[in-house]
Structure 1
Amino acid sequence: MNSIVANRHDILVLFDVTQGNPNGDPDAGNMPRIEPNSNRGIVSDVCLKRKIRNYIELLNPERSTDPDQGYSILVKQGAVLNNEIDKGIKEATEGMREADKTKKAEAAMHWLCREFYDIRTFGAVLSTGDDVMKGSAYGQVRGPVQFTFGQSFHPIAPLEITVTRCAVTKEEDATKERTMGHKHIVPYALYAAKCYISPPFAKRTGFSTRDLDLFFEALSEMFTHDRSAARGEMVVRGIYDFEHVGSQHPNNAAQNEREARLGCYHAHKLFEGIQVSLEDGKSFPESFDDYRVVSTWTEENLPKGVVLHERHELPCKTMKFKF
């Protein structure tokens, strides 16, 4: 059954990098992003969303039997956003009266959310082109899925590596024996990012349970098809999904649904139950084996109305979407 997501999810994601650059900073010569006060590495929320979008585009799921489930990606390499938005406005408002600007904007927003997976998941600014959307409450879509920046657990020490090549780019450099270049890498770091899924916003964009299943698959596989010389070894190490299901007796269905939608416990306290520390005798990490990751939550002490899904433990055969 495919329905609108009705339960709040608070998600902690652990991922690491070995000899790579997880997220280069264009303001610092593409060096790995770093927080200057603590020297901890950071990865932007935009970077993580990019991995999800790329996976969905590569997977290219078949359109659901539900006509309200399209899986195109709006924000992708080479896309002209206004062209896609204007196309959506034209498709959605054909035959509508000229004076119904608000209704046109609403119809266009719903059409775009239906067709583009990343709009109904992450939201988008739709008021960048056609006048129909400008100044409208429907011109900005707030998506139900939102990431924080990822941050490493310990300070990182980025390295600048000089590399050489035997070929040259320009004719005038043909007499040179070789040319030089540079790479920036992090020897090793373990990062944590948080993700929140809000049912009230899912209702507005049409984010469904099928979309949610696809999101979790993309989250667990987001580095699998993103390999490059800079990101050869990036691995998702943990996905701790705290789902709010309600704490009331089944007879009190209305209150149970309300609690599941709004949440039964503070997210930051749930995340504090996932404890990450270095193994005894280690002063800095060199690999994931140097870390101890422990979930202190059990069925007995987990707050009432909350269920913990350790989605990194799910075998591949449980995935519902395949290439």
Structure 2
Amino acid sequence: MSNELMTLPRVTGLLVIEVRESNPNGDPDNEGEPRMRGHNERGVISGVSFKRKLRDLVEAKDGPVWMHLASELGIDERKAEFEVLESRGRDRIAIGNMKKADFQKAYWDARLFGTTFLESIKEDKSKDVEHFIRCGVVQFSNGLSVAPIRIHRQTNTNKAGVQEGKDRGMAPLGYRIVEHGIYVMPFFVNPTAALKSGCKPVDLELLKKLIPIAYPQTASAVRPLVETRHAWWIEHKSPLGSCSDFALIDALTPKKKEKPDEASSGIDEYDVPNGLPDELKSRVASIKDLMNG
């Protein structure tokens, strides 16, 4: 293992996300309804949707986020090393013919998150698919709301119709939002996966800069008020791990003060931890809230 790869830490992370009057993650199988588990009405934000926001910010090389962070991290002249594999218009044949070193060097999201993009050509023995990456260094789990969520639906109209011959438009119950929710999304950094993905410390540094701004920099009409309140980044004392992930996650997960099985209307209804208890803190190398810079 190279010295550069050995510097990657084992990390347990937890995002504490507040949602107000927004749809944080629509379900395409349910007409864009905010994702929710039917058996207990807990809201869901998929890890895939969060990673999409990170990818979009990196892909927009002419945008203010990339230009600011690339300058701050000293990678202005290396943008060709931070392309996004999961982007529209990609050339599958050209990517499949890339050499392993070139593939690893080019795609930031593949080095971090892994990919199944090349699955379709993996069985083609004539292709050099050594660079096929199944598992990345960073994994985001689904985010679940601490309490049930309440969904508000309304019909929106517009003055100019979108259908030919109609001078006004209407979308019955087309606007569907979560009134309020606190979600927790665990994520993990596994340095072992860097052996195949080629992930480097600067890839993680860019990720750490992107996490706090992922929601405000990708806000939309249906998702105007989603904010990460805490982004805990906990480094273990050993690359093998020095503490239970579950123990760390449980200790930092907010608890509803009263009526835990009812939807909330504000963050003041929760006890939100501001750090780890001393017993757990002594078992990790460091803990940082990325929201504090």
**Range of TM-score over shorter length:** 0.7 to 0.9
CA distance in 1, matches of 2:49, 2:236: 27
Q: Which amino acid aligns with 1:288?
A: I
Q: Which amino acid aligns with 2:252?
A: I
Which residue of structure 1 aligns with residue 90 of structure 2? Answer: 80
CA distance in 1, matches of 2:90, 2:8: 33
Q: Which has the larger radius of gyration?
A: 1
Which residue of structure 2 aligns with residue 321 of structure 1? Answer: none
Q: List per-residue Cα deviations over 1:120-159 (Å, max 9, x = no partner).
A: 0101122434835869564333110001001111111212
Distance 1:309 1:69, change over 3 A: farther
Q: List per-residue Cα deviations over 1:260-281 (Å, max 9, x = no partner).
A: 2111111111112214123468
1:119-138, aligned counterparts within 5 Å? 119-125=110-116, 126-129=118-121, 131=124, 138=131
2:49 to 18, 24, 47: 47
CA distance in 2, matches of 1:274, 1:224: 23
2:226 counterpart of 1:266 = no
Contact 1:273/1:297 (CA < 8 Å) preserved in 2? yes
Provide TM-score, normalisation by structure 1: 0.77
Q: Which amino acid aligns with 1:266?
A: S
CA distance in 2, matches of 1:267, 1:157: 30
Contact 2:251/2:277 (CA < 8 Å) preserved in 1? no
After TM superposition, give the deviation of residue 310 of structure 1 in Å: 1.9
Gaps of 5+ in 1: 93-107, 246-259, 315-323
CA distance in 2, matches of 1:212, 1:57: 16
Pick which of 145-154 and 179-188 moved more: 179-188
CA distance in 2, matches of 1:193, 1:136: 33
2:236 counterpart of 1:244 = yes
Which residue of structure 2 aligns with residue 22 of structure 1? Answer: 24
Pick which of 201-210 and 58-67 moved more: 58-67
Q: List per-residue Cα deviations over 1:278-297 (Å, max 9, x = no partner).
A: 34689642122332211462
SS at the partner of 1:262?
coil
CA distance in 1, matches of 2:95, 2:43: 36
Which residue of structure 2 aligns with residue 171 of structure 1? Answer: 164
1:1-323, aligned counterparts within 5 Å? 3-4=4-5, 5-58=7-60, 59-60=65-66, 61=70, 64=75, 70-76=81-87, 78-86=88-96, 89=97, 92=98, 108-125=99-116, 126-129=118-121, 131=124, 138-174=131-167, 178-181=168-171, 182-245=174-237, 260-279=238-257, 284-295=263-274, 297-299=276-278, 301-314=280-293
Contact 2:232/2:288 (CA < 8 Å) preserved in 1? yes
CA distance in 1, matches of 2:291, 2:57: 17
**Cα RMSD after superposing both structures:** 2.7
Contact 2:184/2:253 (CA < 8 Å) preserved in 1? no
CA distance in 2, matches of 1:84, 1:232: 38
Provide TM-score, normalisation by structure 2: 0.84
After TM superposition, give the deviation of residue 68 of structure 1 in Å: 11
Which residue of structure 2 aligns with residue 95 of structure 1? Answer: none
SS at the partner of 2:281?
coil
Distance 1:297 1:171, change over 3 A: closer
SS at the partner of 2:203?
helix
After TM superposition, give the deviation of residue 212 of structure 1 in Å: 0.9
Q: Which amino acid aligns with 1:184?
A: R
CA distance in 2, matches of 1:51, 1:68: 18
Q: Which amino acid aligns with 1:74?
A: L
Contact 2:110/2:133 (CA < 8 Å) preserved in 1? no
After TM superposition, give the deviation of residue 65 of structure 1 in Å: 9.1
Q: List per-residue Cα deviations over 1:83-103 (Å, max 9, x = no partner).
A: 4514xx2xx4xxxxxxxxxxx
Contact 1:273/1:295 (CA < 8 Å) preserved in 2? no
Distance 1:53 1:68, change over 3 A: closer
Gaps of 5+ in 2: none
